[in-house]
Structure 1
Amino acid sequence: MNNNIKIILAGLLLSACSPKVVSKKQTVYGERVLKVMSYNIHHANPPSKAKEGLIDIDAVAAVILKQKPDLVGIQETDKGTKRSGNVDEAALLGQKTGMHAQFFKAIDYDGGDYGLTILSHYPIQSFSKVNLPQAMKGEARILSYITVNIPGKGKLTFANTHLDATHPDSNRIVQMKRIIAELSSKQGPVIIVGDFNSEASKEPIRILDQHFRRTCVNGCAFTIPEMRPNKTIDYIAIKNVDWPVLEHTVVPETYASDHRPVVATFQLK
């Protein structure tokens, strides 16, 4: 049985026995907390298995489950593409983690769709997608975001993006400015995560820092590549609220993707 058939059969089995989403109260710090993750999953193709084209959704789900996040922004997700066995990766990750899943298409790819996914332990009240501009012609990029209700705290906006990777900063600058404009009117806490394809010293992140507070600013662990990482391009940032960051971690995961996932825990004041 080839890998693609195995993936499809696994998806059918999971759809019949999907776990129920269970609300949880994290008290690991003795405080009410919110834990979020940003993870570029490389369409669930482990870099060490790139030649074989293996798709290992289980590995990605295991990384997420181990961290027990409340909200996850995932970049590089396939839906119905030939290279990923025609599966809906967002739906499978939702089923395997017991979280609500929302896919956001960025482009057509290989007979299917390619884009972003958001997972949430809280019911998703609304979701939106924004097409991001380009200064130079390149692959289409998007901003995705959802709204959820945090018990006792009200509405929160959780955003996820993946900025241009192949051109100079000009594309990333106009894309970041569009993101800032889109999220500027949101009331209540706003958290953005993603693969910004830009190091902290570059203009796109300087623009981000004018409006958001990153969960790590100095001495931050590198996020890419998965083996011997040498730069940080994946971030989590927050605005409109002064929730302290109890922990910022780059998970030392080296198999599932070419990025290491970033996790931050906020104290809900």
Structure 2
Amino acid sequence: MPQLRVATFNIAGGHQPDVAAINRLFTAENLDIIGVQEIDRQTIRNPGDMPAQIASANYHFEFAKAIDLMGGEYGIAIFSRRPLHQVYIHSYTVYGEERRVFQHGVYDVADSQLSVYNTHLSFETPALRQQQVAELLDAVKADPVPHKVILGDFNMDQDHVEWDSLGPDLHRVNGDHEWYDTFTWRDATMKVYAIDNIIVTPNVRVAHTKIATQILSDHQMLETELDWT
């Protein structure tokens, strides 16, 4: 039976996060796959190669640029114990102030495969996010790999009902049984704070969900264990 520990974490690149501490967190939590949002590459505010620094010797990574920023790039990344394959990046056709993307890759484990998605949706309006979710779900439904996970900061901050746009056939780690307020700061424009999530297809089981309590970002890392037959 394949068994993996996965997580999603918005590291708030604008706050110059401690990349070594993030790597230690991933390693200490024994994570196999992590979807990261708000990560820089060679920007003025973070002049190094943040994905490579976070990966260090422990992880492989796939970076997806959303926008050019401060002389470098800004986007999302998937970190994994083993290299991903069938990797691609999809740019959403609709977005707000910043272009947004999702990335995909396939992870081989125990004679099986897990299709891994990572995304960061727009913050401006629920209507905009619903259109992005529709594009993401089109890719998920067309994906021939049977077992799938979606990691991300979905920015669904106006009402928990926003999550209904994912439809009834996917399981939400954050919200199906308990809501985890993963955004730790307070913002007058936000009405709910459970905005980060791990979404799985019904043939994937989840267990041992937790929030990592280290203060390394304005988000907390959401993690869980996956297994399937």
Residue among 128, 152, 168 paired with 2:125 = 168
Whose Rg is larger?
Answer: 1
Aligned partners of 1:126 and 1:148 also within 8 Å: no
Residue among 220, 224, 237 paired with 2:183 = 224
String of CA shifts for 1:121-163, please: whole Å, max 9, x gaps. Answer: 12212211101132x64211001111121122x2221000000
Aligned pair count?
221
Measure the CA separation in 1 of the matches of 2:177 and 2:167: 13
- The structure-2 alpha-carbon separation of the partners of 1:55 and 1:264, relative to structure 1 and needing over 3 Å to count, comes to closer
Q: Within the alignment, does 1:36 sit opposite 2:6 as a pair? A: yes
- Following TM superposition, by how much is the alpha carbon of 1:61 offset from its aligned partner in structure 2, in angstroms? 1.3
Aligned partners of 1:44 and 1:57 also within 8 Å: no
Instruction: Give the secondary structure class of the aligned counterpart of 2:56.
Output: helix
Q: Within the alignment, does 1:121 sit opposite 2:81 as a pair? A: yes
- The structure-2 alpha-carbon separation of the partners of 1:257 and 1:55, relative to structure 1 and needing over 3 Å to count, comes to closer
Cross-structure match for 1:88: 49
Measure the CA separation in 2 of the matches of 1:44 and 1:92: 16
Measure the CA separation in 2 of the matches of 1:59 and 1:183: 33
User: Percent same amino acid at aligned positions?
Assistant: 24
- Structure having the higher helix fraction is 1
- Following TM superposition, by how much is the alpha carbon of 1:251 offset from its aligned partner in structure 2, in angstroms? 1.5
String of CA shifts for 1:41-78, please: whole Å, max 9, x gaps. Answer: 01173xxxxxxxx5421121122112111110000010
Which ranges of structure 2 fall in alignment gaps of 5 or more residues?
187-191
Q: Within the alignment, does 1:133 sit opposite 2:93 as a pair? A: yes
AA partner of residue 171 (structure 2) = R
TM-score, normalised by the number of residues in structure 1: 0.76
String of CA shifts for 1:246-267, please: whole Å, max 9, x gaps. Answer: 211111222x111000001023
- The structure-2 alpha-carbon separation of the partners of 1:160 and 1:243, relative to structure 1 and needing over 3 Å to count, comes to same
AA partner of residue 42 (structure 2) = G
Cross-structure match for 2:153: 195
Runs of 4+ in 1 over 4 A off after TM superposition: none
How large is the Cα RMSD of the aligned pairs? 2.0
Q: Within the alignment, does 1:178 sit opposite 2:135 as a pair? A: yes
AA partner of residue 71 (structure 2) = G
Aligned partners of 2:105 and 2:116 also within 8 Å: yes
- The structure-2 alpha-carbon separation of the partners of 1:111 and 1:169, relative to structure 1 and needing over 3 Å to count, comes to same
Measure the CA separation in 1 of the matches of 2:225 and 2:70: 37
Instruction: Give the secondary structure class of the aligned counterpart of 1:113.
Output: strand
TM-score, normalised by the number of residues in structure 2: 0.89
My pick for the range that moved more, 60-69 or 176-185, is 60-69
AA partner of residue 166 (structure 2) = L
Aligned partners of 1:44 and 1:257 also within 8 Å: no
Which ranges of structure 1 fall in alignment gaps of 5 or more residues?
1-30, 46-53
String of CA shifts for 1:170-226, please: whole Å, max 9, x gaps. Answer: 1101000100011111122110010000046233x1121434211241322211116
Measure the CA separation in 1 of the matches of 2:21 and 2:218: 13
